[in-house]
Homo-oligomer: A and B are copies of this chain.
Amino acid sequence: MNVNSWTFDRQSLTPLYLQLYHQLREAILQGTFGAQRRLPPSRQLADELGVARITVSQAYEQLVAEGFVVRRPGAGTFIASQLPLALIEETHTAETPFQPQFSSWGQRVMATAVPSANKQPKPEIDFGFGRSFPHIFPYDIWRRLLARYLSTDDVMLSRYGSVAGFFPLREALADYLTRWRSVVCTAEQVVIVNGAQQALDILARLLLEPGDEVLVETPGYADAAALFALNGAVLTAVPVDDAGFCLDQIPARSRARLAFVTPSNQFPHGGTLPLERRLALLQWARQHNTLLIEDDYDGELRYDGRPLAALQGLAADERVVYLGTFSKVLFPALRLSYVVLPPGLVRLFVQAKQLIDRGAPTLTQAAVADFMREGHFERHLRHLRQAYGQRRHTLVAALQTHLPQVRYADEPAGLHVMLYLPERLAETAVVEAAAEVGVGVYPAAPYFMKRPSPPAILLGFSGLSESEIAEGVARLGAALAGLE
């Protein structure tokens, strides 16, 4: 055995004996101790390596505990006799790494385009969306609420939470949704999920067989569509107009099991589904025995008054699943969303969730529950609506000045505006031209389920100040003028 090649890092956090253990273990696994299977006496090895004898003893002890070596009193330390050295060598020197064979689900995951992390330098003025505006969040209150549950001896920390969510949070949500969104529900129907995607995944698995049809909006929430497709669904893309989902464009032969809609503010086009379309959609769903999934991802964020009533509350036949999230109105890093389920779905949904995921962190849920119950949530929403409403106003005013040729659904809601560009412009060229003047805008093509899609870009305004918004649109207008 040649110990001269062994190295020790005396500055490392890893104790010396552990460093020695790793090297001894590797030497055993490589078969370098030869047929005699005897390790050097600890005093001898310590001298050769220039370490304390206790270091060697501790390393040997670990090897004994793990079964690599045995001590024979009076004779020394030997590689365990029952260890098949040939097997070790064979096992340890296998050259071909494991090649996984993927299931059809795995192959669909592989085929699903997942946007890669943006490697571009962050633009000076970034109209990214799906962001909150962190400056308005009441951090002091939030810290105080979290601290309340951080005391020792608290069951919040020492036990697993409830699968369906922390009950006081479910109660606070049921109360809030009933009062502000006309959702009809009890706290038992509200289930806390780790993001809307989780709720959609569970619903798809519970309700869809491969080949089942699902209606989605186009343009629409691409991740939801991807999830249904992943679970084997056949998608039917229904176009939207400025008033949202176009019911009359559902194919007559449709036998959809599920329809995914965004009635409060169509994503990403913008627009609120009018009452008569809501009623007609509910009637269509009843005639076709379709379950509707209402994704109310930012229904709180209306700037012309209070939020509008949800579709869920209009359906007397328990046919609507309502999805909401705290990502947009508190902060995304919370990862807390919620689903209001029809009574007939609650038990099985929770049972499925229990099998795949034991529930969200109790501590955060408790803090959010208090945040809601003590009035901070509704106050925070008012602040958000004011701040975002002003930003949206600034954005629209700048668009009218600098980009009069673009169309958009002028809905006083949401966190972005989707601009339909003149047909002769290519979306990618616009994105690139904007990037060259330090402005980040985002292509709309990924949100269209039917090709070719009209040229369009998305401008999120929630992460920018009003002056940045005005400046960004001015630069974008100049960049577009350069393209024409």
A150 touches B143 (CB 8 A): yes
A189 in the interface (beta carbon within 8 A)? no
Complex Cα spacing A207 to B98, Å: 13
- Determine which residue in A100, A143, A150, A206 has the highest number of CB atoms from chain B within 10 A of its CB, and name it: A100
A91 touches B25 (CB 8 A): no
**Which of B65, B100, B314, B364 is close to A308, meaning CB atoms less than 8 Å apart?**
B65
Complex Cα spacing A351 to B105, Å: 12
A354 → chain B closest CB, angstroms: 5
Query: How many of A's residues come within 8 Å of B, CB to CB?
Result: 127
Digit string of A104-121 for contact with B (CB within 8 Å is 1, else 0)? Answer: 111001101010000000
- Determine which residue in A67, A143, A182 has the highest number of CB atoms from chain B within 10 A of its CB, and name it: A67
A322 → chain B closest CB, angstroms: 13
**Which of B134, B205, B345 is close to A154, meaning CB atoms less than 8 Å apart?**
B134
Complex Cα spacing A101 to B110, Å: 29
B206 touches A105 (CB 8 A): yes
Within 8 A of B (CB), among A153-171: 153-154, 156-161
Residue ranges of A at the interface with B (Cβ–Cβ < 8 Å)? 13-14, 18, 22, 25, 29, 61-62, 65-68, 80, 82-84, 87-88, 90-106, 109-110, 112, 114, 130-135, 137, 139, 142-143, 146-147, 150-154, 156-161, 179-180, 182, 194-195, 197-198, 201, 205-209, 223, 226-227, 230, 257, 274-276, 279-280, 282-283, 286, 289, 291, 304-306, 308-309, 314-319, 327, 331-335, 342-345, 348, 351-352, 354-364, 375, 463
| Beyond A230-B355, A361-B364, 4 additional pairs, beta carbon < 8 A | A84-B276, A98-B291, A110-B351, A201-B357
